[in-house]
Amino acid sequence: MFEDLINFIIFILPCYVANATPVALSKIIPMKNPIDRGKKFIDGRRILGDGKTIEGFISGVIVGTLVGLILSFLGLHKLHVSFILALGAMIGDSLGSFIKRRVGIPRGKPFPIVDQVSFVIISLILANAIVFIPMRFYLYAVIITPPLHLGTNFIAYLLKLKEVPW
Ligand code: CTP
Ligand code: MG
């Protein structure tokens, strides 16, 4: 059970790292090109909002995949799978923002559950297209990710990487 959890955490690491990268890098590299190009959806609200940038998306995919590359050298991961996990994380994160805008939650305001699990669930679903993902991994993701996400966001807040602790 414990070993299984460790295996899961190693497997999902490219996804977590991808998700955390834009937050950290946005303090060093200016990220100002919104994926939605400032466009609004049919409901009059932004499609994704200014919190989802092209720079953030690409840097997340690159850094997440790099972590997968290191893990693959150690024989702990597969490079192509880590790439899909990182890509899935950024797609899922964007999808989360799309949902937030549709229900009227402004950029940067918290939306519990969606903020914490959208990136990891979409990441696993995408990875499932190229490698078998055991059902319990989805369960682990849902259980482990929210406390981990809140914890890392709080650390990012303390380090002044984030303005709000969520
Ligand atoms: N970020 C980015 N590009 C992305 C994802 C994140 O530039 N594709 C950066 C933005 O500076 C963003 C920060 O990372 O503000 C934190 O990410 P997140 O919490 O996901 O975005 P929010 O600003 O909270 O926006 P939303 O309400 O849409 O989630
Ligand atoms: Mg946020």
101 C-beta closer than 6 A to ligand 1: no
> What is the Cα–Cα distance from 69 to 75, expressed in whole angstroms?
10
**Cβ-Cβ contacts under 8 Å for 93 (sequence gap 6 or more):** 19, 52, 60, 118, 119
User: How many angstroms does the Cα of residue 51 sit away from the middle of ligand 2?
Assistant: 8
92 C-beta closer than 6 A to ligand 1: no
Q: Beta-carbon neighbour count of residue 40 at 10 Å?
A: 11
Ligand nearest to the CA of 47: 1
* CB 108 within 8 Å of CB 164: yes
pLDDT, tens digit, for every residue of 82-135?
999 999 999 999 999 999 999 999 999 999 999 999 999 999 999 999 999 999
The minimum-distance atom of ligand 1 relative to the CA of 53 is 3
pTM for this prediction: 0.94
pLDDT, tens digit, for every residue of 31-83?
999 999 999 999 999 999 999 999 999 999 999 999 999 999 999 999 999 99
> What is the Cα–Cα distance from 90 to 98, expressed in whole angstroms?
12
Give 34's strand partners: 53
The minimum-distance atom of ligand 1 relative to the CA of 48 is 28
Question: Token pair for residue 164?
Answer: 């709000």
- Closest by Cα among 64, 68, 112 to 91: 64
Q: Beta-carbon neighbour count of residue 15 at 10 Å?
A: 33
149 C-beta closer than 6 A to ligand 1: no
Residue 166 has pLDDT above 80, yes or no: no
User: How many angstroms does the Cα of residue 143 sit away from the middle of ligand 1?
Assistant: 22
